[in-house]
Structure 1
Amino acid sequence: MVALKFTIALVGIVLALAFADETESDLNSKFLMLDSQLKKLSQKLSQDNLKVTDQLKEEASKVIALKEQVDILKGQLEKITLENKYQMSSKHGLGILKPNRRYSRSTAGDPDVVVFSAELSHVLDNVALHSTVVFDHPIFRVTHSYDASTGVFTCPTSGLYLFSVFIATHKTDTEALVYLVLDGNPYMSVISDRSSDGENDSGGNVVMLPVNKGQRVWVETDINDKQSFWPSFTTFSGVLIHQTQ
């Protein structure tokens, strides 16, 4: 009887151990399966994050491109607006000087009449240090003493001249600073602070100088490299006030 009880107990222990082994095996299998699924989900999440990052970069590039186009269109619109103002003021005799008895073809060689005014016709970006700013669009001039292809005024008549320079910074982090230069010597400076938050700064100055016939006057960048300027608002003008012998 004792032997039978012992045998039954032993069989029970063997069955319990077998069941425990089977349960542990199942748990290990389930753990490995869940671990594999977790790795796959993590990998998929990483891939999705990369796709989203790439999409965000692509959208950011599109936004930057659109902003550049808006800046270009804004510059063109401002130029057209100014040109319309010039035309309207010209019709009423308030703006650009028109040929008349004093400013006519017959005065082209008149040494008493020397006057010019020129502007930028386009955005001028990344202008190197110590470069001549070329105001390529003559607004008005009686003689051709100002060369719109070089930005240099060559004095045709000795006398006292009044020069004005105005600059407006294009959207940039660089402060704009230029000098009015007479035969390599700076005589007047103009500064325009760096742009911020989409706002554009401007600056101007006026000077009177005695200039001899043949001397050259121009506007040159100084202090900072890669300066940028808005069109129309950036101008260079000069006029003979008093002729000297």
Structure 2
Amino acid sequence: MNLYLVLCLGMMGLRLSSADLDLSDLKRELDEQKERLAVLEKELGPNTSPAKNPAVLPELLTKRAQYGYDTVVFSASLNVPFDSSRHNSPIPFDTVTINEGNGYSSATGVFTTPRDGVYMFYTSVAVNGDDAVHAQLQKNGVSQCACTSTHYGSGSCMVIIPLTVGDKVFVKEVFGTHLRAEHLTTFNGMFVI
């Protein structure tokens, strides 16, 4: 009986040592999750929201990257009027506000997917004068959504689509010639999940 008791206590000791290791791993993981939660809480906090205070955005993006969040987001607009009589080519949105992940090229007007996932894209087109404009947001040359604008108006479309590395997304004017600048014609995209 004493031998049985010694064996049982010995086995329990091994289990306790293993449990101690498991607890330390769990504690470390919990601490990491607390740090990530703090980053998210800061993003959602009333005084640190990027929507209310754009100056906090670079700091938040840096912290997100530090904790393993890969951010892909861009926002571009036309600052210079664009005469797209060429049609069939991407609109080169020349003013880039943000390009985290470096997927958008203002030289070509094309967003090249840097990582697989689901993305959201939004475009808005405005027209000069009595002209009319019809534009398409395209993935690899295939229309995903379209918008129309007439008589100093604007039109927009949004799409959520899956992409793989290397896919090309852009806005192409298919009808009309005079897109309005002054940052009224825009192209935006972001990684969702």
Match of 1:212 in 2: 164
160, 166, 180: which is aligned to 2:124? 166
Give 3-state SS (helix, strand or coil) of 2:160's partner: strand
**CA deviation map 1:145-195 (0-9, x unaligned):** 100111000001111100000011012x331011011111111101101x2
1:103 partnered with 2:75: no
Q: CA–CA distance in 2 between the matches of 1:130 and 1:227?
A: 14
TM-score normalised by length of structure 2: 0.67
Judging by fraction of residues, say which structure has more strand: 2
Unpaired runs of 5+ residues, structure 2, are: 1-48
Give the counterpart letter for 2:185 in structure 1.
Answer: T
The answer to whether 1:157 aligns with 2:109 is no
Distance 1:103 1:183, change over 3 A: same
* Aligned-pair identity (%): 27
Aligned to 1:121: 79
Q: Would you say how many aligned residue pairs link Structure 1 and Structure 2?
A: 144
Q: What is the identity, as a one-letter code, of the residue corresponding to 2:119?
A: Y
Establish whether residue 241 from structure 1 lines up as the match of residue 192 from structure 2. yes
Match of 1:29 in 2: none
> Offset at 1:143?
1.9
In structure 1, C-alpha distance between the alignment counterparts of 2:103 and 2:167, rounded to whole Å: 11
Q: Which runs of 5+ in 1 are unaligned?
A: 1-88
Q: 1:131 aligns with which of 85, 89, 99?
A: 89
Structure 1 residue 139: deviation in Å? Answer: 1.1
Q: Which residue of 2 aligns with 1:67?
A: none
TM-score when normalising by structure 1: 0.53
Cα distance between partner residues in 2 of 1:159 and 1:111: 13
Residue 188 of structure 1 aligns with an amino acid whose one-letter code is C
What is the aligned partner in structure 2 of residue 178 from structure 1?
135
Q: Distance in 1 between matches of 2:56 and 2:98?
A: 7
Between Structure 1 and Structure 2, whose CA radius of gyration is higher? 1
